[in-house]
Amino acid sequence: MHLFLRVRNLVTSLIAPNSTVNRLLGSNEAPSEEERVRLLSRLNDLQTELEWLLGPPYPVVDPENKIQPPQTERTYQSIHNHLFVLSSVRYIPIEIWQQVFEFVVFDPKMRRYDPLGLLTRVSRLWYAAATTHRVLWSTLPPISYLNATGPITPTQHSAILTRLRLFLSKSGSNKIDFQLLYSSSKDVWTENREVILDILDKFVEVSSRWRTAVLNIPTEVVEQGLSPLRNGGALRCLEELHLELSVWGLDRRQLQIAGKLVKVDHFNDAPNLRHVTLKTSVINTFSAFRGRILNDNNTTFDFHLPWSQIETYHGRIETTGG
């Protein structure tokens, strides 16, 4: 009997070589129908061999149990590997994986972990499932430089644009949700102004696809960066807007001068806009001359929105201009 098993296993191993098992162990792919038949045949032989080694009915083998003979452990491990590559999980349709991925990608707790990057690196199957499902790419990773303390380097700038182009390409013509957040001292802003304007410009170019827009930007770039939004149809898909405009603290002398009026009418032509949050904030400025923090500003904001269609609104205005 032992000789018969040895000969039979040798023949089976030639038909279903270990390379097939090893290849499948390195991925989530399902074996072909031909491979499946060979693997099932080999699995049956291995189970018969294990039964012969242990005696019927054979108990569950603990691979950590060092008392087991080496041949038994090898046979058990081979059975385990065959069962693993024959698992029905490998036959789950790609459409089901795509639905599962939605729960992962859209989980707020996962955003800081780059879930799409993680999923696409698991296997070729998962890569195909993720990269062909446009809805997964419709929520762009936040671009956040809140409280920036130094210049955005050319390498960082290039990486942001590359990733942005990737998501815009993979999402096709789908509506998109995005966040662009920036704040810093006025000195640091001088170094980063052109970079932020460039990134903002890339978003404005696809404004017709905006569904949810979260913008936290310095007030001084509003007119230059957002003026194309006034064009008819530029915001036809926008449903939700979170806009925070920041200014820097002024000293007493500057506050005595008539405050600046900033008209924000760039979102007035947005037929589907229903939910709005508006905020203005003052970025504390340290005055070395006066030796204190400046935290007041007299800028006045004049917001124009399609108020008659707004369903929810939240606002917080921190500038003394109102």
Q: What pLDDT digit, counting tens, does each position of 98-157 carry?
A: 888 888 887 878 777 788 888 888 878 888 888 888 999 999 989 999 999 999 999 999
For residue 321, the model assigns a pLDDT of 55
Residue 70 preceded by cis peptide, ω within 30:
no
What pLDDT, on a 0 to 100 scale, did the predictor assign at position 71?
73
User: What is the structure's pLDDT at 5?
Assistant: 47
* Percentage of the chain lying above the pLDDT 70 cut: 81
Q: Rounded to whole angstroms, what are the CA distances from 56 to 47, 51, 52, 53, 124? A: 11, 5, 7, 9, 41
- Taking only the tens place, the pLDDT of each residue in 192-239 is 999 999 999 999 999 999 999 999 999 999 999 999 999 989 999 999
274-281 average pLDDT score = 94
Tokens of 70: 């080496």
CA distance 75 to 53: 9
Kindly report, residue by residue over 13-63, the tens digit of the pLDDT: 444 457 787 777 777 777 777 777 777 777 777 777 777 777 655 455 555
The pLDDT, as a whole number, for residue 191 is: 95
pTM over 0.85: no
Q: Hunting for tokens 């998962």 — which residue is that?
A: 126
